């Protein structure tokens, strides 16, 4: 019953991430030709309209089982994150932020997979490493994972409070 206090946070973060993600992807799909590259902070940051048919770094992009597999993984992820979120105690607000970012990012990319059978990516960072082009949902997932790692490093573990 105490976890109810985190529900507005979940709704606000997930909604913000999904709306921002879908709005930016729609803007890219309508404003940039596929493959078009627009420097923003040259040479570090640019917009580049690409698509990823697979998962991270394009893995499974050629597999005939990619959509059923990614749909199943997404649904399991949604159920697991939601169940974990519901078990959070009132003092676990940082973990509520973390789970909300992860859920929002996963949902943003899931919407693309359902509607377009691929995920629109557009944020290109030139670091000298082979780094994939990404999107707002990917940023939310990455920030959520960094927060989660910090949670673990601080010794909180992965079990919700009793």
Q: How many domains does the chain have?
A: 1
Structural domain contains residue 82: yes
Structural domain contains residue 91: yes
Q: What CA–CA distance (Å, rounded) separates 110 from 41?
A: 29
Catalytic residues: 121, 138
| Structure tokens belonging to residue 9 | 């946070």
pTM: 0.84
pLDDT truncated to tens, each residue of the chain (162 aa)?
Answer: 443 578 888 889 999 999 999 999 999 999 999 999 999 988 889 999 999 886 665 555 666 676 777 788 889 989 999 898 888 888 888 899 999 999 999 999 999 989 998 999 999 998 777 778 899 999 999 999 999 999 888 876 555 544
Domain extent, residue 29, equals: 2-153
Structural domain contains residue 159: no
């Amino acid at each position: 019953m105490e976890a109810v206090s985190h529900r507005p946070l979940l709704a606000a973060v997930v909604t913000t991430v999904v709306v921002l993600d879908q709005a930016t992807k729609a803007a890219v799909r309508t404003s940039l030709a596929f493959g078009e590259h627009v420097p923003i902070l040259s040479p570090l940051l640019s917009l580049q309209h690409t698509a990823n048919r697979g998962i991270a770094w394009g893995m499974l992009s050629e597999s005939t089982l990619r959509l059923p597999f990614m749909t199943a993984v997404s649904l399991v992820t949604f159920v697991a994150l939601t169940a974990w979120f519901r078990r959070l105690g009132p003092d676990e607000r940082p973990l509520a932020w973390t789970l909300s970012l992860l859920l929002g990012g996963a949902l943003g990319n899931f919407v693309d997979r359902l509607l377009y059978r691929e995920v629109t990516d557009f944020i290109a960072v030139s670091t000298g490493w082979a780094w994939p082009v990404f999107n707002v949902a990917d940023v939310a997932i990455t920030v959520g994972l960094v927060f989660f790692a910090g949670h673990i490093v601080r010794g909180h573990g992965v079990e919700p409070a009793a």
